[in-house]
């Protein structure tokens, strides 16, 4: 079994990377697996994690058979992201193991846990969706508009003045730093 290790800490101040790697390497040795690649990443809340993406690409290219992480929250950015990644790995027949939670998705109980995580991720998405809808409705009830601010509409009088002075729509748009389409629609 060719294994890819993924270790991550949130900040440079955290000193757990060596500990994570040591424990994961011992686990691989005990299971008689082969270390294929090792990735270390430092960053908190990052939208992209290049090393993680590289590891997933290796899984897609069938260069590794398993991914080993120290803890689930070190791998996923959110529950939804984690479940999406785990589902993709499952379809690729790549085993996923989280050492500290004793989750091994190569076992029946591990796959059952993956199913439960999917259910919770869907629940989380639904709750967030309901909260967003409620927040929008509440804002509208209080008379607050929702969506992108109407910045071009505030310049309607200036647009009319410039048009009357002989400027064309493109010139007006450049001068006021708005789109030509906004100029045209506000002149109608």
**Furthest CA-CA distance within the chain:** 82
Q: Of 181 and 151, which is predicted with more confidence?
A: 181
Query: Is there a catalytic annotation at residue 109?
Result: no
- Contact present, 40 and 21 (Cβ < 8 Å): yes
Q: Is the pLDDT of residue 6 over 70?
A: yes
| Per-residue confidence (pLDDT) for residue 56, from 0 to 100 | 94
Local structure of residue 37 (DSSP, 8 states): E
Q: Of 73 and 178, which is predicted with more confidence?
A: 178
The CATH number of the structural domain formed by 2-122 is: 3.40.50.1390
Q: What is the pLDDT of residues 91-124, one digit of tens each?
A: 899 999 988 877 887 778 877 777 777 677 678 7
Domains of the chain, by residue range, sit at: 2-122, 153-187
Mean pLDDT for the stretch of residues 66-73: 88
**pTM of model > 0.85:** no
Q: Is the pLDDT of residue 184 over 60?
A: yes
Catalytic residue chosen out of the listed positions 10, 78, 106, 185: 10
Q: Is 33 exposed, middle or buried (0-12, 13-18, 19+ CB in 10 A)?
A: middle
């Amino acid at each position: 079994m060719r294994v890819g290790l993924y270790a991550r800490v949130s900040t440079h101040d955290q000193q757990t990377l060596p500990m994570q790697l040591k424990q994961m390497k011992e686990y691989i040795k005990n299971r008689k697996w082969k270390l294929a690649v090792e990735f270390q990443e430092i960053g908190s809340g990052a939208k992209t994690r290049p090393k993680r993406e590289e590891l997933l690409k290796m899984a897609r290219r069938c260069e590794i058979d398993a991914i080993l992480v120290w803890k689930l929250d070190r791998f996923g950015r959110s529950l939804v992201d984690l479940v999406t990644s785990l589902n993709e790995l499952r379809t690729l027949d790549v085993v996923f193991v989280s050492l500290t939670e004793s989750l091994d998705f190569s076992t029946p109980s591990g796959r059952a846990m993956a199913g439960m995580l999917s259910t919770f991720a869907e629940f989380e998405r639904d709750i967030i969706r309901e909260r967003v809808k409620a927040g929008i409705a509440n804002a509208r009830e209080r008379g607050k508009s929702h969506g992108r601010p109407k910045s071009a509409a505030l310049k309607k009088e200036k647009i009319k003045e410039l048009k009357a002075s002989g400027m064309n729509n493109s010139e007006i748009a450049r001068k006021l730093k708005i789109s030509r389409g906004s100029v045209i629609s506000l002149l109608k």
